[in-house]
Amino acid sequence: VMKSDHDDERPAGEERRRLQGIDTELATVEQSLSAPQRGGRAVSQSIQSLLGSLRSRLETNTNGQELRRSLSERLRLAQLAHSARIPLGVLRNREQQEPESSLSLHSASASAGAGASNAQPRGRQVPRRSLLAPKTQPSDRSVSSSSDTTRSLPQQRSSRSVLVASRHRADHAGGFPLLDERDFSFGGSMRSLVSSPIITSSLAPPEQSHEEETHLDPISETPILLSKSGRESFSRRSGGFLSGSVRQLSVDSGSDSVVYSWGCGVQSLHDDMEEKPLEDASLSGTSRLGKPGAKAVLSVATSATHTACATAQGEVYMCGMNPFGEVDPSGRKDMVVRPTLLESLMGQQVQVVQVSCGLHHTAALTANGSILTWGSNNNGQLGHTQGSSTSHVFPKGFVMGRGRRAAAVACGDSFTLCLTTRLSVLCAGIPEIAGSHSSGPTRSLPALEGLPIVSVAAGNRHAIVLTAHGTVLAWGENSSGCCGRPFPTRLGAPSIMAVPDTQQIFPNNTPKKLFPNWANWDTNQKNGVVSLASDVAISHAACGNTHTVLVTRSGRLLVCGRNDQGQLGLPKDEESDFLRPVNHPEVGKHYVTAEAGDGFTLLLDNVGNVYQMGHGTSTAECVLSNKSILTIAAGGNSKIALASGSTGSLRRQVSVSFETNATMPKNLEDLLDATSTTNQSSNEEESTKVSSAGQELASQTEELLRYPEVLNSLFLDPFELDHLYQGLVGAKISKKDRQTIGTAMEKGIKLGLERLRSADARMIYPEAVRCLLLYIVFFDQNDDDVVFDASGECIVLLCESILGLSFEGYKALLTWVMTIYPRNLFVRMLIQPLLVQLEKGLKTSVDENGVEHPSPVRNAVPLIVTVLRWFNKASDMTGVEVALAEDFYSKAVEELSMTTLYQDMVTYKQANHEQRSSHFFWFANPFLMSPGTKRNLLETENQVEMYKLATSDAKYDAETREIKIDPFFPLEIERDHLMEHTLAKIKATKGTELRKKLRVIFKDEEGVDAGGVTREFFQLLSQDLFDVSSSLWTTQYGDQITWFNSDCTWDNDGYELVGILVGLALYNSVLLDVHFPMAVYRKLLGLPLGLEDMVDEELKKGLHHLLDYEGDDVEDVFCLTFEVTWMDLGKEQNVELKPGGSDIPVTSDNREEYVLLYVEWVLIDSIKEQWDAFEKGLMRVMEDSITMDLFRPEELKLLVVGSPELDFKALEANTEYEGGYDKDSAVVRNFWRFVMEASVETQLNLLKFSTGSSMAP
């Protein structure tokens, strides 16, 4: 029972001596606690035990209340200082400044003391619980990662490291990743680099110079949409690659056709020049063409002035006005009322399969792939050679260039579009469609180069092209909005028509960074091909005078332009300068094709019924039903429909091959199989010759690669191309066949890339740039028997093409890389081939005179490395692991001598910024080097620095007449006072001395430091300095993570000592037993920090949940303000993240700013003082080293702490023996036998004993 405060009984002599003893011992402990606590766990536990003993002894004394109270208060402060790891003097100052907090401090002491051994959180705590989960949800609700969510975030305000709320969040609605402005600082043409001694090492291409004619407004930057079904429309035929949407008909022998013609005008097939009612529209194909026995009409076209028909016999019949010879070039009549055979074609012995009519000119496509044009040529629309007349021009060939054949033709008022069998487009006519006339009678447009065009359509003064994957581009007159955009009024170059968002539900496996409306819509395939949604992928396009109608693959319409007569199917006069959907009026039916005229639209649905919009009605009305209509035509005021006759049938056919040979294999894979079979059955003599099948395979391979448009129409699934290529290079065929195929690959790639260069291709659209990725896999040539690109010309062309992309092209290519290549294909198809070429470029040969010659591919090395660096950065941007760091390591770079790499580093170090950006340096491309190579380079740099410092302090000894050099930094310390002596010695040492070779000497101990003593020193010092019992580190994460204690503002010397220790370890190649999180290594390297780097996992989940929350009631659910709250010694502490932050609620609009500021406060601001001291210490040792910049954060961590993967076989193989022992000594063999059979714990102890760390170097 304790005495009351007014008890004046004096303690007995014995009790007084006990209290004095407690006072003496407590004074000793107080002296120890007055300094920052860095003694390690053993010292901490010893002090805790002593304080507990003093408390017990004090409570047994019942007399001397005044002295007891004084000792009890002192003991309470000592216990609190120890448990809170605060110097006693600092704690007393706090008590004096905040006396009202004494009660809370007292209440905190008990819990602090009890929790010390259990590593309970101290200092900064998790913020308000409401941040971790909404009120309506349990706190353990799983939170999905937000690394793929696209957000735009402000930049950091301070710190060497860039800060973002999430490193993998994107800044573009289309999913393009965060891009540094410096990534696009590349200047000049890459094509000049091969011959230039100055090689740029910039990563990415220049920004697009927006020419006035391109009008690259926000609408035109909408990413192109691709479709799987477009790929399926093509076959790799032996005769070539042909359009999959040329609307032609095939005819059974003996068949007739029924022609329906209505409307008015002399161009109508009914020749009365009056409005023809629908009930009288049916005409006999035979009777109307005026020739007994005439066969079915195969193709029909009409315009405002005339009409043309092609029959199954290949003849052309025409009618209409003839002022310029567009109907009859002979000019015998100004008007031809009745459809009349065009005699001008009879003598040319051609078979016409398709016709098209302009205002005053006509074009006909023949079965052999040529185009004949006639009529007016006042704007060069006939595409004839220079010097042709401008009127009444007889049928002549449309100039297409050597080797080209046409698949379709379309005529506008004063221009002509030709679609080739190689999926490219040629134009002739007015400049706003065909461009400048200076380049020849026909021209290809730079913006269309590389695009796989499968269909063309022409209006009065605007044009449309359709790609294989469902994308539509338009250009020309746009005053009515017929090009699908409100401005400009005239488009000088093809631009994408932006389609509305799909109404389909996206599958769960859709990549979030894919192009809009893109997904793997085939849910039956786990890893299916991504494509454009069918309700926005276009299968057919039609142009009226001032409006455009598109038919989607799902069968609905997308319309835009003038609607003064209801031709859009919208309420009359409701015009639209953007595409709007129009559905079929009957459920279960859909449209398959459309044609447009002056103020009306003609539609054909899947059951053969014809609908009309316009000419007074704004809804689709069925005008022909149950007639089995196969095709329609419209122009001016004339409407035409073709149906099968009674004697036979017409068949709708969407692709036509003009070279069909049933004996030839249908595609490359069949050819490959045939080649393999041929060579397996041949004898040895025959295998030395190129087989016929092998020659055909080589021919088709070259054909595939020489046309980028064809390549872009195929292989939307990269697995298909990989399968084909592996078959080509892995087939069991003869050496001659392999070389023939390799030569064909080289020739095809060269011709394809040169074609893009010679055409000055813009390469800004995704469907155009994809071929650059597809070409890369063909450079993975490891067969020594095959000579491929020996001069390096092809790889130079490819790299220049990639590096010369505009900013739009770069974004498109990056999106392809990020979304359709899984890791195995990303590495095998994109990285490995470039590494093979890099190794080829670094090889040298030695002639008979011993002279070394570099590889002819050496000039391509800087370009290859720059492309590899681009891919490396792209893989880091994705947020998805498409490649590991080791996937980029180059064996060729590993084999470079350390002298070469070190000299490159020195040159780089001495170069200024301009020289570094204009010359090639290996040092600027560390991603090619393995951690081992980087470590060796760092050690070489450090050893050279040690030697320089040692020789700079050389002294001449006159007595011995010798120059004495002291290469070491001697550190003599007492083992019992390791921390104090080390700190004192280092504080008194100059920075240059620290960079000499470290030699540790334990006072009064014998032994020479050959490395073992240094390792022991670091081991002992690490145990104390990195122990979480030290006040330097937070205990919130236990022993698993070493993170700065933000409340420790009194021990900057300790943090500086830690920095020096880490620097000395790096400098002297010693491993440390420390558990820094990755954020520390990122901060050291000056890399961006983000939410992914948060140390507190629960807090990280809470912030992720805040960002991902989809409701609009963030303020009510999370109840947060721009303020951080935590407990410090039982007292609530608050910090505003921005001025007035405590009164600013976190909402849906500002939550990203909140996360950014919160992450910045946790990782930067809250530990700024501690970090600055730590970095200062490390820089005292490593300030002159630039080799650290080579390392990735993961590699720097390996350099500091080593690898957890232990390979004792490697340790045995690299052990050196002294004292007469070698690897075959009996004791050595027994030792290693014991080690290999020992437990993991024993092996770790052995490794720690011998190296100072339980990690492998």
Position 121 scores a pLDDT of 29
- Percentage of the chain beyond pLDDT 90 is 38
pLDDT reading at 134 higher than 70:
no
pLDDT reading at 312 higher than 50:
yes
Which residue would you say has higher pLDDT here, 600 or 758?
600
Q: Is the preceding omega at residue 488 within 30 degrees of 0, hence cis?
A: yes
Nearest CA-CA partner of 490 in 499, 501, 500, 481? 481
pLDDT reading at 865 higher than 70:
yes
Torsion sign, CA atoms 319, 321, 323, 324: negative
Position 47 scores a pLDDT of 81
CA distance 527 to 828: 18
SS3 content of the chain, % helix, strand, coil (to 5): 40, 20, 45
pLDDT reading at 842 higher than 90:
yes
- The count of residues in the chain is 1257
Query: Quick one: DSSP state of residue 190?
Result: G
Query: Quick one: DSSP state of residue 1014?
Result: H
Q: Which helix (H) or strand (E) holds 431?
A: helix 431-434
Mean pLDDT, the chain, integer: 78
Least-confidence region, from 277-286, 299-308, 517-526, 985-994: 277-286
Query: Quick one: DSSP state of residue 285?
Result: H
Least-confidence region, from 494-498, 516-520, 969-973, 1119-1123: 516-520
Which residue would you say has higher pLDDT here, 573 or 217?
573
What's the gap between Cα 1034 and its chain centre? 38
Separation in Å, CA 1164 to CA 153, 159, 1054, 1161: 17, 7, 19, 5
Nearest CA-CA partner of 326 in 298, 350, 307? 307
Bin 371: left if φ > 0, else alpha if -120 < ψ < 50, else beta: beta
> By the 8 A CB rule, do 593 and 632 touch?
yes
CA distance 149 to 513: 8
Nearest CA-CA partner of 247 in 487, 464, 486, 407? 407
pLDDT bracket for residue 1235 (50, 70, 90): confident
Q: Are strands 997-1002 and 968-973 parallel, antiparallel or unpaired?
A: parallel
Which residue would you say has higher pLDDT here, 122 or 845?
845
Separation in Å, CA 156 to CA 180, 1106, 1153: 14, 20, 11
pLDDT reading at 617 higher than 70:
yes
CA distance 1244 to 1022: 17
CA distance 1139 to 1119: 19
SS3 string, 39-68, reads CHHHHHHHHHHHHHHHHHHHHHCCCCHHHH
DSSP-based three-state secondary structure for 583: coil
Burial-class residue 45 by CB neighbours within 10 Å (0-12, 13-18, 19+).
middle
CA distance 740 to 558: 49
CA distance 1116 to 136: 11
Q: What is the pLDDT of residues 745-778, one digit of tens each?
A: 999 999 999 988 876 788 889 999 999 999 999 9
Domains of the chain (ranges; CATH) run 13-115 (no CATH), 129-168+1090-1163 (3.30.2160.10), 233-444+636-651 (2.130.10.30), 927-1076+1168-1198 (3.90.1750.10), 1203-1257 (no CATH)
- Percentage of the chain beyond pLDDT 70 is 77
Which residue would you say has higher pLDDT here, 1009 or 911?
911
Q: What is the pLDDT of residues 1191-1206, one digit of tens each?
A: 999 999 988 888 777 7
pLDDT reading at 224 higher than 70:
no
Nearest CA-CA partner of 1097 in 149, 143, 165? 143
> By the 8 A CB rule, do 424 and 448 touch?
yes
Nearest CA-CA partner of 895 in 924, 927, 854, 929? 929
Query: Quick one: DSSP state of residue 648?
Result: S
Position 122 scores a pLDDT of 29
Tell me the sheet residues that pair with 576.
561
In the sheet that holds 257-263, the strands lie side by side as: 282-284, 257-263, 638-644, 629-635
State the average pLDDT over residues 400-416: 93
Query: Quick one: DSSP state of residue 602?
Result: E
pLDDT reading at 646 higher than 50:
no
CA distance 14 to 167: 69
SS3 string, 329-341, reads CCCCCCEEEEEEE
Q: What is the pLDDT of residues 681-729, one digit of tens each?
A: 444 444 567 888 888 888 989 999 999 999 999 888 888 899 889 888 8
Least-confidence region, from 26-40, 473-487, 548-562, 1161-1175: 26-40
pLDDT reading at 126 higher than 50:
no
CA distance 534 to 520: 11
CA distance 1110 to 82: 46
Give the pair of three-digit tokens for residue 22: 């407690």
> By the 8 A CB rule, do 470 and 537 touch?
yes
State the average pLDDT over residues 118-137: 31
Give the pair of three-digit tokens for residue 66: 């005044």
HSE (side-chain half, CA atoms, 13 Å) at 620? 23
pLDDT reading at 890 higher than 90:
yes
Which residue would you say has higher pLDDT here, 16 or 306?
306
DSSP string, 1174-1204: HHHHHHHHHTT--GGGG--HHHHHHHHH-BS
Nearest CA-CA partner of 379 in 426, 434, 329? 434
- What is the rounded radius of gyration, in angstroms, for the C-alpha atoms of the chain? 41
Q: What is the pLDDT of residues 161-187, one digit of tens each?
A: 445 544 444 333 333 333 333 333 333
pLDDT reading at 1068 higher than 50:
yes
The 10 Å Cβ neighbour count of residue 995 is 24
> By the 8 A CB rule, do 601 and 542 touch?
yes
> By the 8 A CB rule, do 162 and 1089 touch?
yes
> By the 8 A CB rule, do 164 and 178 touch?
yes
HSE (side-chain half, CA atoms, 13 Å) at 274? 3
CA distance 1058 to 912: 33
pLDDT reading at 792 higher than 80:
yes
Give the pair of three-digit tokens for residue 257: 């056709």
Give the pair of three-digit tokens for residue 95: 């008590």
pLDDT bracket for residue 1002 (50, 70, 90): confident
Q: What is the pLDDT of residues 52-102, one digit of tens each?
A: 878 877 777 666 677 778 888 888 888 887 777 788 777 777 776 655 443
> By the 8 A CB rule, do 719 and 821 touch?
no
Tell me the sheet residues that pair with 652.
249
DSSP-based three-state secondary structure for 612: strand
CA distance 886 to 1195: 11
Nearest CA-CA partner of 121 in 1229, 963, 1095? 1095
pLDDT bracket for residue 271 (50, 70, 90): low
Q: What is the pLDDT of residues 1108-1153, one digit of tens each?
A: 998 889 999 999 999 998 877 777 888 999 999 999 999 999 999 9
pLDDT bracket for residue 675 (50, 70, 90): low
pTM of this structure: 0.78
Which residue would you say has higher pLDDT here, 817 or 189?
817
Most confident range, picked from 640-649, 928-937, 1217-1226: 928-937
Q: Which amino acid is at 136?
A: T
Position 1019 scores a pLDDT of 81
Which residue would you say has higher pLDDT here, 67 or 814?
814
pLDDT bracket for residue 597 (50, 70, 90): very high
